[in-house]
């Protein structure tokens, strides 16, 4: 099943994605759908049809938590010159950073080092705390795509990364949530993840390169905090970021960025000046 949040005339709506239409599920967004008891049954119900031309919002427009994992692809850890971590490296974003799959990425004028990071994202579908592996897997509603756009000069001002990670209107999330049963590997998706900038391939990897799996991350994070429906966990980016290139390459106004994960979908965003 594929779910999305669209911008309809009356406001945002949670929809099921069909080949020829969106089906309005009667909730204002995917988070509200996931919060409803028996959401998977509700998501399969019939409803009014909306055109596939209806624009997409962030698949979860206002998650309670946007949790992110740094240094989680072996290839990216090595390109950044670091040792493999024993535990996940965690940071956060705020909902104001999130945009839709086709929205413009706003490059802040305060940064000269705007970078891309393709990421597989876990969307939580059940309240969970101190999960064992089976409970963690069952709490995963599905997966989506994020471009964790980062202001590198701000990120590395201090040892804490938050300030470079959560500039407003920088982070596309979507286009859809895909339930695990539709992906090879289920809750351990075996997918190809990539980024192109102006048609040039910058990142291309397999999600099997992840050091900590989605289930590992739900277990680890739920040890500390309660995860709730609609929370999202960005699982990290593979090698190929602009900061690690020689010479370094960063995004600028007018660039076209495509972030894609096989079996889930693609984000197509233009960069504009803030």
pLDDT (tens digit per residue) in 40-65: 999 999 999 999 999 999 999 999 99
Say if residue 195 is in the same domain as residue 245. yes
**80 has pLDDT over 80:** no
What average pLDDT score do residues 231-256 get? 96
Residues 155 and 23 in one domain: no
End of a domain among 57, 86, 103? 57
Q: Using CB atoms within 10 Å of the CB of residue 176, give its burial: 0 to 12 exposed, 13 to 18 middle, 19+ buried.
A: buried
**In a shared domain, residues 142 and 158:** yes
pLDDT per residue over 195-235, tens digit each? Answer: 999 999 999 999 988 999 999 999 999 999 999 999 999 99
- Residue 148 reports pLDDT greater than 90: yes
Q: Stretch 177-190: mean pLDDT, rounded?
A: 97
My answer on whether 80 and 110 are in the same domain is yes
Q: How many residues does the chain have?
A: 274
Confidence (pLDDT) at 155 = 96
pTM of the entire structure? 0.96
Sign of CA dihedral 68, 65, 267, 199: negative
For residue 232, give the nearest of 30, 37, 42 by alpha carbon.
Answer: 30
DSSP 3-state of 47: coil
Check: CB of residue 239 under 8 Å from CB of residue 118.
Answer: no
Do residue 51 and residue 70 come from a single domain?
no
Phi/psi region, residue 191 (left: phi>0; alpha: psi -120 to 50; beta: rest), is: beta
**Average pLDDT in the 154-169 region?**
95
Whole-angstrom distance, CA of residue 138 vs CA of residue 141: 8
Of 33, 57, 81, which marks where a domain is finished? 57
Average pLDDT over residues 19-41: 98
Number of compact structural domains in the chain: 2
* Statement to judge: residues 152 and 181 lie in one domain: yes
pLDDT tier, 96 (very low <50, low <70, confident <90, very high otherwise):
very high
107 and 188 inside one domain: yes
Q: Provide the percentage of residues in the chain whose pLDDT is more than 70.
A: 100
- Same domain (yes/no): 12, 95: no
Please say whether the beta carbons of 144 and 174 come within 8 A: yes
User: Looking at residue 190, what is its pLDDT?
Assistant: 96
Structural tokens at position 103 = 């929205």
Helix (H) or strand (E) holding 120: strand 118-124
Mark whether 119 and 194 lie in a shared domain: yes
Between these two residues, 245 and 80, which has the higher pLDDT value? 245
Q: Is 20 in the same domain as 84? A: no
Q: Which of 57, 77, 97 is the last residue of a domain?
A: 57
Mean pLDDT, residues 125-135: 98
Structure token digits, residue 149: 């756009």
Q: Which domain holds residue 36?
A: 1-57
The two counts, helices (H) then strands (E), for the chain are 7, 18
């Amino acid at each position: 099943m594929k779910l999305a949040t669209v911008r309809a005339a009356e406001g945002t709506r949670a929809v099921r994605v069909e080949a020829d239409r969106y089906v309005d599920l009667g909730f204002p967004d995917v988070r509200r759908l996931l919060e409803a008891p028996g959401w998977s049954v509700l998501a399969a119900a019939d409803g009014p049809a909306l055109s596939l031309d209806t624009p997409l919002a962030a698949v979860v427009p206002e998650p309670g938590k946007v949790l992110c994992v740094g240094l989680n692809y072996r290839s990216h850890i090595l390109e950044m010159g670091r040792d493999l971590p024993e535990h996940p490296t965690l940071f956060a974003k705020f909902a104001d950073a999130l945009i839709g799959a086709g929205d413009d990425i706003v490059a802040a004028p305060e940064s000269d080092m705007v970078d891309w990071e393709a990421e597989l994202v876990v969307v939580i579908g059940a309240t969970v705390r101190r999960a064992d592996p089976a409970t963690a897997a069952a709490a995963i509603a599905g997966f989506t795509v994020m471009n964790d756009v980062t202001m590198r000069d701000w990120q590395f001002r201090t040892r804490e990364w938050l300030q470079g990670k959560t500039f407003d209107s920088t982070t596309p999330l979507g286009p859809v949530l895909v339930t695990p049963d539709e992906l090879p590997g289920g809750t351990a998706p075996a997918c190809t993840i990539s980024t192109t900038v102006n048609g040039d391939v910058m990142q291309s990897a397999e999600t099997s390169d992840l050091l900590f799996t989605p289930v590992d991350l739900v277990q680890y994070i739920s040890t500390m905090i309660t995860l709730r429906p609609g929370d999202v966990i960005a699982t990290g980016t593979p090698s190929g970021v602009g900061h690690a290139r020689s010479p370094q390459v960063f995004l600028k106004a007018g660039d076209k960025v495509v972030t894609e994960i096989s079996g889930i979908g693609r984000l197509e965003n233009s960069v504009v000046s803030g």
